Amino acid sequence: MKFFRSRGRDGAGQTTESPLIRAMTLYQDGSYAEAEAESRAVAAARSGLRDDPYAPLALGMAALAANAQGRHAEAVAAYDGLLPEFGRILGAAHPQTLKLRSDRAQALSALARYTESEAECAALARIARRGAGPHMALLLAAARNGRIFALNGLGRHAEAETVAREALAAHGDRDRFRLVLLLGLARSLNGQGRHTEALAEAGSADELRRGLPEGEGRSETGGVELAFATALFGLGRDAEARTLAATAHASCLAAFGPDHRRTAEARELLDRADTPEHP
């Protein structure tokens, strides 16, 4: 959710540049370790400024980058510590505070804390529906995606399918959010054993991904291949499935490291492929 602005106005009405621009650029380029280091440097440099919003914002950016590197528990702990500070400085209803809650909910799912994540995403969706403007539209898209993932994690695949189809009907833009919604729908269909339908949705996600601007779908690296591989396993097309699972694992390992939840999921699929008479 791109709530940061590259330029704003200071108290005197003059244009100022966010000190987090370099960190954001590094993150968007997939240089997560460098983005984290830059964010922490900004936070340290501004830590002595009273009620300066950029110090906690920088730490929130560092947590986001840590989560992208697979350090999900560390990210959740950081978000838990930052939420009161965001509320105090920015306010509970500020878009950045809501974004922090959304980022925390995604990290909770990565730790398989699906019940907490689903509840938080449902709460954020209610807030977003009452609001207006681009920030609330982004929050709603993120909350829907997070809820779909959590519902699938809880085994409530039919509910996840319903939410995914409703979200896709409401979100017409062919962007990264539509990509993740298609992947969530494919996951829900695979969870219900409807592998042929899941394969079709994975194909739609792949087509959309190929049309995105360079780098826009980077955070979903390996997701399309995982959706394909899961469906193909379900259809008994094991050799094709294993090839795609291996591709997903290599891509996720390079992009996120060995501890990221998607890397682990790809590894599980590979292990399944290498187990005789796998289910």
Tell me the three-class secondary structure of the chain, residue by residue: CCCCCCEEECCCCCEEECCCHHHHHHHHCCCHHHHHHHHHHHHHHHCCCCCCCHHHHHHHHHHHHHHHCCCHHHHHHHHHHHHHHHHHHCCCCCHHHHHHHHHHHHHHHHCCCHHHHHHHHHHHHHHHHHCCCHHHHHHHHHHHHHHHHHHHHCCCHHHHHHHHHHHHHHCCCCCHHHHHHHHHHHHHHHHCCCHHHHHHHHHHHHHHHHHCCCCCCHHHCCHHHHHHHHHHHHCCCHHHHHHHHHHHHHHHHHHHCCCCHHHHHHHHHHHHHCCCCCC
**Residue written as token pair 């009161």:** 84
Q: What are phi and psi of 9, to 5 degrees?
A: -125, 135
Q: Would you state the pLDDT for residue 1?
A: 38
Q: What is the mean pLDDT of each run of 10 residues along the chain (279 residues)?
A: 39 58 96 98 93 94 98 98 96 96 97 98 96 92 96 98 95 92 98 98 97 91 97 95 96 96 95 71
Single pTM value for the model: 0.90
Buried b (16+ CB within 10 A) or exposed e, 234-266: beebeeebbebbbbbbebbbebbeeebbbbbbb
CA separation for the pair 109, 115 (Å, rounded): 9
Half-sphere exposure of 158 (CA within 13 A, CB side): 0
Q: Max alpha carbon distance in the chain (Å)? A: 70
pLDDT at 4: 41
Burial status of residue 172 (CB atoms within 10 A of its CB: 0-12, 13-18, 19 or more): exposed
Residue 176 CB partners (closer than 8 Å, separation 6+) = 212, 216, 217, 219, 220
